[in-house]
Amino acid sequence: MDLKGKKLLVTGADGFIGSHLTEELVNRGCSVRAFVYYNSFNSWGWIDTFPEKIKKNIEIFSGDIRDAYVVKKAMKGCDIVLHLAALVSIPYSYYSPEAYVDTNIKGTLNVLQAARELEVEKVVHTSTSEVYGTAQYVPISENHPLQAQSPYSATKIGADQLAISFYNSFSTPVAIIRPFNTYGPRQSARAVIPTIITQIVQGRRKIKLGSLTPTRDFNYVKDTVQGFIEIAKCDKAVGEVINIGSNFEISIGETVQTIAEVMDTKVEIETDIERIRPKKSEVNRLRADISKARKLFGWNPKYGSKNGFVKGLKETVDWFSQLDNLKMYKGDIYNI
What span, in angstroms and rounded, lies between the C-alpha atoms of 196 and 131? 25
Helix 252-262 to helix 305-320 angle, to the nearest 10 degrees? 60
Is the pLDDT score of 333 beyond 90? Answer: no
Q: Quote the pLDDT of residue 85.
A: 98
Identify residue 44 by its one-letter amino acid code.
W
The answer to whether residue 65 is domain-embedded is yes
| Per-residue pLDDT tens over the stretch 81-96 | 999 999 999 999 999 9
The answer to whether residue 282 is domain-embedded is no
Instruction: Indicate whether this model's pTM tops 0.95.
Output: yes
Q: How would residue 277 be classed by pLDDT, with cut points 50, 70 and 90?
A: confident
Sign of the four-CA dihedral 237, 239, 244, 248: negative
User: Domain range holding 180?
Assistant: 7-184+219-247+287-305
- Read off φ and ψ for residue 285, nearest 5 degrees: -155, 135
Q: Quote the pLDDT of residue 143.
A: 98
For 99-135, letters b (16+ CB in 10 Å) and e give ebbbbbbbbbbbbbbbbbeeebbbbbbbbbbbbbbeb
Q: Quote the pLDDT of residue 169.
A: 98
The answer to whether residue 207 is domain-embedded is no
The answer to whether residue 128 is domain-embedded is yes
Residue 250, strand partner residues: 216
Domains held by the chain: number = 1
For 9-34, letters b (16+ CB in 10 Å) and e give bbbbbbbbbbbbbbbbbbeeebbbbb
The answer to whether residue 314 is domain-embedded is no
Tell me, what DSSP letter sits at residue 9? E
What span, in angstroms and rounded, lies between the C-alpha atoms of 203 and 193? 16
The answer to whether residue 127 is domain-embedded is yes
| Per-residue pLDDT tens over the stretch 155-183 | 999 999 999 999 999 999 999 999 999 99
What is the average per-residue pLDDT within 107-124?
98
The answer to whether residue 311 is domain-embedded is no
Q: Which region among 103-112, 174-183, 192-201, 239-248 has the lowest average model confidence (pLDDT)?
A: 192-201
Long-range contacts of 273-277 (CB under 8 A, 24+ apart): 274/334, 275/91, 275/208, 275/209, 275/210, 275/334, 276/210, 276/211, 277/90, 277/91, 277/150, 277/210, 277/211
Specify the CATH number for the domain of residue 93: 3.40.50.720
Residue 140, strand partner residues: 288
Q: How would residue 283 be classed by pLDDT, with cut points 50, 70 and 90?
A: very high
Contact (CB, 8 A) for 219 and 154: no
The answer to whether residue 22 is domain-embedded is yes
